[in-house]
Structure 1
Amino acid sequence: MATLYKILILCVGFALSSNLWAQSHLDPVTDSREFAELYSQSLLTQERKCGIVVLPSFSNRYGISLSTNCDSLTLIEKRPHGIAYPDSVNIKEIPVVKVAIDSVFGKSLAEIIDVATEKAMPTFSAGLDGVMYYFIASNDSIGATWSPSAESSNCDVLVNMVDGLKESIQTEELQNFIDDWWCSIDKLRLSFQNAPALPPFYFNKEFGNIDNNLPTVEYSASSPLTDDFQFNAFMSYPADYIEDTLSEYLTPIYGYCTTDSIFIDFCKTLVKWQEQASVSYVTVVITVNDAEKESYDVRSSGKSVYLNFILPHDKLTIDNLLEQDNNCIFRYMLENMMPNEAVRPAPVHSVRNCKKGGKR
């Protein structure tokens, strides 16, 4: 029973890992909107309620249009530009495929696209070779995701749905697709609807190892390069784990949503360094371990500050981190700011004048 309990925690924990967190949302399309709209014109029908445009790096690009009445799907497929086919003379044009669907199911497709696009947040995903998925909502807003790598994330499930939809249209097995996805689409829509908001910076959480080879959870965060205040933060936290007695393999358990919140909330407050001490750049390294002694060190170089926090598990609280951070700000200001005007020695001429006055 204990083993089953740990496995359940493991499953829940992976749903909280960094890539899944980031890929709970589509990316809003702003800078590349013109590019997306260009492909929408050639890969989607004009009369449509919603649409999906898929642009792989090295295979056919395609679009799937949902009709205005949500009662039909149209698949338009085109070969990628710049790829030479030896037998191109004999290759026929890829035909457009249109299939009828139940309008109730069609409306559920429209709802998932609308919600996923509405809930889009900057997730800073990118890559060189892969597949870009664009989702065009009923109001023509566009959300996108780039080759999701985190299994079971919202974007990964959505992409699997799109891939399955295309295949079922091509093989004329659309009913099988509808049977498989009828309930899942509503669950996915709710998952997009209720996904937690992303922090206003790059955030990552992954599995790591420390010197004794025990698993850790490694956190990192950094501000976008466009921000006037720059920070980088790192935290290492020992992970609970399941040990395989046969292979000695350690499987980490990521069941620490509270720790996630502590780290993220702390990173949000780092802007105080700019507001209170006029610091432009901060690097923070937080190490959580079994050490009995804790330390909170601050070093500076010009307008850059380096913080090194070492603390035990029971001291990893947002209140403690904020208190120690405030102490570091105060220490920095004492060491680097000009002496207070009130404690400066009086000018020499003033002292002489006072002495002359006294003699009189």
Structure 2
Amino acid sequence: MAQLSLFHAQKPPAVFALFLCSGGFMKRLLTLTLFATAATAGAQGNLTFVCGAQADWCQVVANAYKKETGGEAKFLRLSAGESLARLRAEKANPSFDVLFGGTGDVHEAGTKEKLLTFYKPKAWNELYPELRKQVKDAYIPLYTGALGLAVNDTVLKKRNLAAPTDWPDLGDPKYKGLIAMPNPNTSGTAYTMITTLIQIYGEDKAFDLLKKIHNNVPRNGYTRPGSGAAFLAARGEVAVGVTFLHDAVAQNVRGFPVRAVAPKAGTGTEIGGVSLVTDGPNAAAGKQFIDFVLKPETQKLAATVESFQIQSNAKTPVAAASPKLDKIKLIDYDFGKWGDSATRARIISRWTKEVFPLPRR
């Protein structure tokens, strides 16, 4: 923060000299003015951000930011689709400064719609080159992870069922009532799943599979956040949850009988981002916060609250529990294509019209 200075020359400004010569009232006015100026300077690090990651991760980051900078970082937890809807609604008068976390399609769409502004952070060259290359300056990579399944073997054993190993297995009628997945209208995880299936099988075949999976999803099986499906599987309400693998790992670390399974045919990835909100109320603080969250010391905090994504800074140690992406068959996910606003809207609309209303047989 810049040093506050009353004098820019050897002689006090005329207005300030008038204050000194105008008796008690003017002296009190000067005191109030100085306090107000100091308070404004002290609040320059304050900001509000949308939390597209786990709330406990956002909280520990906000606490660390205050400890290091003195600034308050308040946040609102929203899923990816909700974040984009909120940014669109507030385009003329944003109340947030930063979008922290959430799948890359939201950051891509937000940048193209000028809701978000690309800011090149101080740590840009420390971020994994492959992540920087894939996002193509649309946003700043914050973490990465692979899509997969949270499988509860205890539930499956009680029903004498083998665990699914690939995407088509999720549509097998033997898993009726046992599959949970997030809703793409709110969840970037679900959108990543749908576009992953499209890239593997083609769009029409992917939607045929989604209709079969829908028949196996119970009434409460469509969750608002992506991690919600792993939550349901962990608690035995379903046997399988479609989620990012790090969310399945988190439930396992917490002691629940679930394991992370990567589909054999391949799976998509996310590059979760952090972006500056266009014309946010505290742009300078927003940039300061972005620089802060990309430091290895800050990124290491994620694992302390069981967020096991691979962090974007190459200097950040990978948590021992994090999924080993080099052991997983990953597709060449096209972030630019599937992050396009019109494409995203069309795919979600098709799912909402063709899949979600179908009666379960």
TM-score of the alignment, normalized to the shorter chain, above 0.5: no
TM range (shorter): under 0.3
**TM-score, normalisation: structure 1:** 0.18
> Which of 1 and 2 has greater Rg?
1
**TM-score, normalisation: structure 2:** 0.18
In terms of fraction of residues, the more strand-rich structure is 1
Larger relative contact order (Cα-Cα within 8 Å, sequence gap ≥ 6): 2
